[in-house]
Amino acid sequence: MRGCSFCQLGVFKHADMRGHSAVFCVSSLCSLLVCVCWWEVAAYKHVLLLHGLRDGPQQFDDLITYISETHPGTNVTALDLYDGEKSLEPLWEQVEGYRKAIYPIMESAKDGVHLICYSQGGMICRGLLATLPDHNVHSAIFLSAPLAGQYGGISSLDHWLSRLAKLLVSMFCYTALGQRVSVCNYWNDPHHRKLYLKGNSYLALLNGEKTHPNISEWKENFLRIKKLVLIGGEDDGLITPWKSSFFGFYDEQENVVEMRSQNWYLHDVFGLKTLDMRKDLVQCQFSGIEHIRWPHVREVYDSCIEKWL
């Protein structure tokens, strides 16, 4: 246990009463320090890790090492669900699968849990936080996640071809068949809002862009978290626009509208503004980090994650 090596004390023998009294005091002090050290370890909350698209729990190997070094004794679970190609399954189905796996952990973690949600895992966490009425998530940490949606990822193509390819993606994604693919559940085409609002069955509901009877309840559930931590950067190369990691997104001219200027923030539709006003919303921006590297960069962990665990 961190900081407890000084508890390995020897026994001091002395003939007079003061010596015996000293033995008692040193032993008592050691016991007290052991209790303090045990409390320090016990105070670390269980950490749950949700992986990204077409990957699995192994992508968190470095992150688990960092947690064990800075918070020894922490229970860390990298959830082994919807790995590889199975991560393409519809997000509502994945939310239900993760709920069944996570709920028993939450029930046994009386002091609460932390969520670290990477990439597409962040979209699953949004669904969990909205629909779990009695979750005990303390810190929800979103690591380069397309929280306001995705519109891109094909930047290597020529501009005109890219626009055509995106249109074709939208025409597929906003069909019933397209919504059976996870990526389509958060594909957000700013040029075809009617198609998006009509066809999207996941992100548009979470954002309250489509009216539904559960929006007030989902907002209350979302606001149960104590800290919302958003991590992203301009060199990500995959999340498009990268400001989606901070709940920013394109307008119809593909200008990025920052989080605090989004309608669902201004009207506090799902609780983001309340968290911000509570000073429980943190944004952590890093340059020079490609998308696949986020869980492996120690500086990101030290600066943006460790303090909230």
Q: pLDDT by residue (tens digit) across 249-271?
A: 999 999 999 999 999 999 999 99
Distance CA(236)–CA(245), nearest Å, equals 10
- Tell me the HSE value of 217 on the side-chain side, using a 13 A CA sphere: 10
Dihedral sign computed on CA atoms, order 16, 18, 20, 23: negative
Distance CA(107)–CA(130), nearest Å, equals 18
In sequence order, what are the residues at sequence separation of 6 or more whose Cβ sits closer than 8 angstroms to the Cβ of residue 254? 190
Active site residue 236: yes
pLDDT of residue 163: 81
Active site residue 280: no
Please identify which of the residues 55, 189, 236, 276 carries the catalytic annotation: 236
Q: Choose among 100, 91, 80: nearest CA to 123.
A: 91
**Burial of 168 (C-beta count, 10 Å sphere; 0-12/13-18/19+):** exposed
Regions in the chain scoring below 50 on pLDDT: 1-41, 156
Please identify which of the residues 46, 51, 135, 291 carries the catalytic annotation: 291
Active site residue 119: yes
Distance CA(13)–CA(20), nearest Å, equals 7
Distance CA(52)–CA(122), nearest Å, equals 8
Give the full edge-to-edge strand order of the sheet including 137-143.
76-78, 46-50, 113-118, 137-143, 227-232, 281-285
Please identify which of the residues 87, 119, 182, 245 carries the catalytic annotation: 119
Please count the other Cβ atoms lying within 10 Å of the Cβ belonging to residue 296.
Answer: 16
pLDDT of residue 157: 52
Q: What's the N-to-C CA distance of the chain in angstroms?
A: 17
Distance CA(74)–CA(223), nearest Å, equals 25
pLDDT of residue 1: 38
Contact criterion met (CB below 8 Å) for 136 and 113? yes
Distance CA(218)–CA(199), nearest Å, equals 21
